[in-house]
């Protein structure tokens, strides 16, 4: 990328948690690498742990009460604008986007706002929806893939020149680091002869958690070696626990809870198949993680998933909510010999390289040099 100096960037990050199990872990790695090529200040709205791990200059907000939180952030962004910063990058945060827009509107500058998903699928309070639409129309939207960007444009009547495409990313090498099925399974207390179906995501209806017990029951009825490992936490956890108990699935479904991202790799190494039955997605990191680890997957055909996948993998997409198709496609993969499953890995691992963090970093830096 060269050593050419770039303008100062303020990156507004809603949270920092070194033990996070969410996609924010990947953002922290992006910040660490971007700090080497950008003059970067990270403003953290809420932090647990020591943000020095970001290897970047940072400001940790002190106030959580909304009015003081807004005024504090406003003061920081005005200070940075006076110091010459003209580029503000906000990840999801409504507070961050409105505050950055206020500063840029008054003192000049640009606000990039990251959002990716299908927010139009779910009703939200009128005020929240009004604020969201305002943000999208008064900032530069950063999203992906292109088909989803076009959906945003049409639904929210956005100008095409106010949209940028930036793929999701992971550190591919971390999921391909030495570590085999034979090593991972004993470490996690899993039988070597089990057929492991892995789910890693938030336990919410949006991510299909309410379907897991039905899918598991249908699969286990025909493949008794199947075992479902569910990693994550969220509002559907108690309902899922009840369904598992009522359906007698306790020997076949293990709820692990949230696992820090730094510890997640062995779960992928131990898995035979990955499951993503979401109702709503944008461009899910978890599919990239599965692909990097060489794990075949069955995923819902929602959001940008079909667009991100190579055509050869489209067979493994299922209509959202269709338990029968999800279970039948899982069974297709689970009955394959292990040697056949392993033959899938190299091609998928080559494909996922385009989403490696180093490949995407140049696009992130390019947002501010354009």
Averaged over 265-287, what is the pLDDT? 96
Whether the predicted pLDDT of 164 surpasses 90? yes
Q: Does residue 26 sit in the same domain as residue 69? A: yes
Q: How far is Cα 110 from Cα 100, in angstroms, rounded to an integer? A: 8
Instruction: Estimate the crossing angle of helix 66-82 against helix 94-107, to 10 degrees.
Output: 40
Q: Does residue 142 sit in the same domain as residue 178? A: no
Q: Does residue 108 sit in the same domain as residue 204? A: no
Assign 370 a pLDDT band (cuts: 50, 70, 90): confident
Q: Does residue 116 sit in the same domain as residue 30? A: yes
Q: What is the mean pLDDT of the chain?
A: 94
Q: Does residue 245 sit in the same domain as residue 263? A: yes
- Token pair 């971390």 in the structure block, residue: 174
Predicted pLDDT at 2? 43
Strands (E), 168-252: 195-200, 226-231
285, part of any domain:
yes
56, part of any domain:
yes
Q: How far is Cα 229 from Cα 216, in angstroms, rounded to an integer? A: 10
Q: What is the pTM for the complete model shown?
A: 0.93
Cβ atoms 172, 353 nearer than 8 A:
yes
Averaged over 7-30, what is the pLDDT? 95
Whether the predicted pLDDT of 7 surpasses 80? no
2, part of any domain:
no
> Residue 156 sits in a domain of what CATH number?
3.40.50.2000
25, part of any domain:
yes
Averaged over 282-311, what is the pLDDT? 95
329, part of any domain:
yes
Tens of pLDDT, residues 320-362:
999 999 999 999 999 988 777 777 778 888 999 999 999 999 9
Q: Does residue 150 sit in the same domain as residue 261? A: no
Assign 10 a pLDDT band (cuts: 50, 70, 90): very high
Q: Does residue 100 sit in the same domain as residue 58? A: yes
Q: Does residue 360 sit in the same domain as residue 349? A: no
Lowest mean pLDDT among 78-92, 170-184, 297-311: 170-184
Averaged over 233-237, what is the pLDDT? 97
Cβ atoms 250, 182 nearer than 8 A:
no
Whether the predicted pLDDT of 288 surpasses 50? yes
Predicted pLDDT at 93? 96
DSSP of 80-120: HHHTT--EEEEES-HHHHHHHHHHHHHH--EEEEE--S-GG
Q: Does residue 217 sit in the same domain as residue 78? A: no
- Count of domains for the chain: 2
Look at residues 194, 192, 212, 188 and name the one whose alpha carbon lies nearest to residue 202. 212
Q: Would you put residue 181 in left (φ > 0), alpha (ψ -120 to 50) or beta?
A: alpha
Residue 39 sits in which domain range? 8-171+356-369
Q: What is the dihedral of CA 236, 241, 245, 248, to 10 degrees?
A: 80
Q: Does residue 196 sit in the same domain as residue 341? A: yes
3, part of any domain:
no
Q: Does residue 230 sit in the same domain as residue 144? A: no
156, part of any domain:
yes
Burial class (CB in 10 A: 0-12, 13-18, 19+), 22: middle
Averaged over 183-188, what is the pLDDT? 95
Averaged over 23-44, what is the pLDDT? 96
Cβ atoms 200, 231 nearer than 8 A:
yes
Assign 1 a pLDDT band (cuts: 50, 70, 90): very low
Predicted pLDDT at 245? 97
229, part of any domain:
yes
Whether the predicted pLDDT of 173 surpasses 90? yes
Tens of pLDDT, residues 74-128:
999 999 999 999 999 999 999 999 999 999 999 999 999 999 999 999 989 999 9
Predicted pLDDT at 240? 98
Predicted pLDDT at 3? 44
Q: Does residue 139 sit in the same domain as residue 189? A: no
């Amino acid at each position: 990328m060269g050593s050419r100096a770039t303008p100062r960037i303020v990156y507004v990050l809603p949270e920092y948690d070194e033990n996070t199990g969410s996609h924010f872990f990947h953002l922290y790695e992006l910040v660490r690498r971007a700090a080497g090529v950008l003059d970067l200040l990270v403003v953290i709205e809420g932090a647990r742990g020591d943000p020095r791990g970001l290897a970047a200059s940072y400001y940790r907000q002190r106030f959580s009460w909304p009015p003081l939180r807004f005024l504090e952030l406003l003061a920081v962004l005005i200070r940075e604008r006076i110091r010459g910063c003209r580029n503000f990058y906000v990840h999801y945060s409504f507070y961050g986007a409105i505050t950055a827009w206020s500063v840029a509107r008054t003192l000049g500058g640009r606000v990039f706002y990251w959002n990716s998903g299908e927010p139009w699928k779910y009703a939200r309070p009128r005020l929240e929806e009004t604020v969201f639409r305002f943000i999208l129309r008064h900032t530069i939207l950063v999203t992906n893939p292109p088909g989803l960007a076009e959906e945003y444009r049409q639904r929210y009547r956005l100008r095409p020149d106010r949209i940028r495409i930036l793929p999701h990313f992971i550190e591919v090498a971390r999921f391909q680091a030495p570590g085999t099925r034979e090593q991972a399974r004993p470490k996690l207390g899993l039988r070597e002869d089990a057929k492991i179906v892995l789910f890693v995501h938030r336990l919410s209806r949006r991510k299909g958690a309410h379907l897991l017990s039905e899918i598991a029951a249908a699969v286990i009825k025909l493949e008794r070696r199947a075992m479902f490992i569910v990693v994550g936490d969220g509002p559907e956890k108690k309902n899922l626990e009840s369904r598992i108990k009522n359906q007698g699935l306790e020997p076949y479904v293990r709820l692990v809870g949230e696992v820090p991202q730094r510890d997640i790799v062995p779960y992928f190494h131990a898995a035979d198949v990955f499951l993503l039955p979401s109702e709503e997605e944008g461009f899910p990191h978890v599919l990239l993680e599965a692909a990097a680890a060489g794990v075949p997957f069955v995923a819902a055909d929602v959001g940008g998933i079909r667009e991100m996948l190579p055509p050869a993998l489209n067979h493994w997409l299922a209509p959202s909510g269709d338990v029968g198709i999800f279970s039948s496609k899982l069974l297709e993969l689970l009955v394959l010999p292990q040697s056949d499953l392993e033959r899938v890995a190299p091609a998928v691992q080559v494909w996922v390289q385009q989403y490696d963090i180093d490949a995407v970093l140049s696009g992130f830096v390019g947002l501010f040099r354009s």
